[in-house]
Chains A and B, each alone.
Chain A
């Protein structure tokens, strides 16, 4: 049990005309090593929620436990929490500022008190992990392409070697190729380092292939929480809150409606193809 969120509430600008109740009584548990997709429409509270997980925002009610310890408790070090729970913001490339890529990635580990050599070692490891070649280490981060900048920014958080990595819309504004590259790299990261990953997104299609569990948020509340195929069974309700299930879900549902006895739980194209094949074989046999 790594992160436990208990009855968390958050209200923006309490007591003014701009008051917004962004989180309403959230209860969640994210165990170690899980790959979680956090999905919701714009303004559903997903970004607000993840900023609570590393203590950047303080809940107006409720508590959050990290490895059993109350993060609002006395003597709890927020700095330590932030080194354990790494958060990559939306458009993280906007936070780059150093003269070259390597120095920028060193910023995190240096803040944690590592020596220059140690920090550089960690930075280089993180850069290789996100697929940035050594030749870019001494280039200015502002000369890179959008996708490269984003990878450098993700490396900037990875270099702190967090136990939990939260990525807020890591693929926003990238072309399909850049998107697949980033997502594949995150999935590989999960395999190689075994860390917990929370992927925030508004696209089911993006996350369906990778995650173990999907949490759907709507208007500050958790609407669905379960393995992808369980969540996609509610595809009609998902549509009502402005989301959509992956296209294969629609295809399989339609096939079934037309009388084909296929397994509608397929979430990826591969699974769908297998399900159709099974059905065809069954019909012949």
Chain B
């Protein structure tokens, strides 16, 4: 259940996409998201599909793995589509039943909105699948670096993010272990009504919270023992450097955005 969310789960492989600088991938993802909202016609979405397809192909991540992340948003997807379908007014009414009616504009918006959401999730999944959480936060820290001037604690935010990301698999594993231990003692997490199910969570949540606090405490102690004192004057073991492939990638991405803007203007 919890395992289905691929967001923040690295898929190890050797590919061009994996080797790119994390900053390139972050910027690309943001540009891709923008481009999805610039597109408003079939041609635009075709270009976006082509771009995404090529990136997925290059990344060598199995397609099945990428779409796993979609399971978590199926409900959201269906809801958005349904609302758009019934609530958008258009000129041609395709179907009518009482107060419900579907118009051509409604169908159009519903389909495009669904595609947008799906591509959004797939696009960001590709980024997290091809970048280790550590690289990701490193890239983020570097990208947001200029904000230090206006006293935004960039380093601290990046550190908190990487710790949080690091702890996701640990806590998942811990949950699994405690769950199994309580099942071995006859606990039942599956049957019963909502209240019974909520009550059944107590033997899981109490130990989980205790262990999370214990781990946080241990980690803070370990960091202090190694003289961690925040970001001031801290150097990197592996500083980020742009390679020629990163520059090429930037070129490709900006060209893609230009194409999308042109397509959005002339093909509607």
Residues in chain A near residue B65, CB distance under 8 A? 16
Shortest beta-carbon distance from A208 to chain B in Å: 27
Q: Which residues B161-183 have CB closer than 8 A to chain A?
A: 174, 177-178, 180-183
Q: Which of A16, A56, A142, A157 contacts B210 (CB 8 A)?
A: A142
Shortest beta-carbon distance from B207 to chain A in Å: 5
Shortest beta-carbon distance from B52 to chain A in Å: 21
Bound-state Cα–Cα, A83 to B184, Å: 8
Also in contact, A111 and B13, with CB within 8 A (given A95-B181, A95-B207, A97-B207): no
Q: Which of A79, A95, A108, A157 contacts B178 (CB 8 A)?
A: A95
Q: Which of B177, B180, B203 contacts A97 (CB 8 A)?
A: B203
Also in contact, A79 and B186, with CB within 8 A (given A16-B65, A97-B203, A107-B203): yes
Residues in chain B near residue A157, CB distance under 8 A? 184-185
Q: Does A170 sit at the interface, judged by CB under 8 A?
A: no
B203 touches A82 (CB 8 A): no
User: Closest B-chain residue to A97, C-beta based?
Assistant: B206
Q: Does A156 sit at the interface, judged by CB under 8 A?
A: yes
Bound-state Cα–Cα, A157 to B185, Å: 6
Q: Which of A83, A86, A89 contacts B177 (CB 8 A)?
A: A89
Determine which residue in A83, A95, A157 has the highest number of CB atoms from chain B within 10 A of its CB, and name it. Answer: A95
Bound-state Cα–Cα, A17 to B129, Å: 12
A107 touches B185 (CB 8 A): yes
B186 touches A89 (CB 8 A): no
Q: Which of B12, B183, B188, B202 contacts A56 (CB 8 A)?
A: B183
Bound-state Cα–Cα, A41 to B119, Å: 45
Q: Which of A17, A111, A112, A142 contacts B12 (CB 8 A)?
A: A17
Residues in chain B near residue A54, CB distance under 8 A? 184
Q: List 23 A-B contacts (CB under 8 A).
A: A16-B65, A17-B11, A17-B13, A79-B188, A82-B186, A87-B184, A89-B181, A89-B184, A94-B174, A95-B181, A95-B185, A95-B203, A97-B202, A97-B203, A97-B207, A107-B185, A107-B186, A107-B187, A111-B185, A112-B186, A156-B185, A157-B185, A160-B185
Given contacts A79-B188, A95-B203, 7 further A-B contacts (CB under 8 A): A51-B180, A79-B186, A82-B184, A83-B186, A95-B185, A95-B207, A111-B185
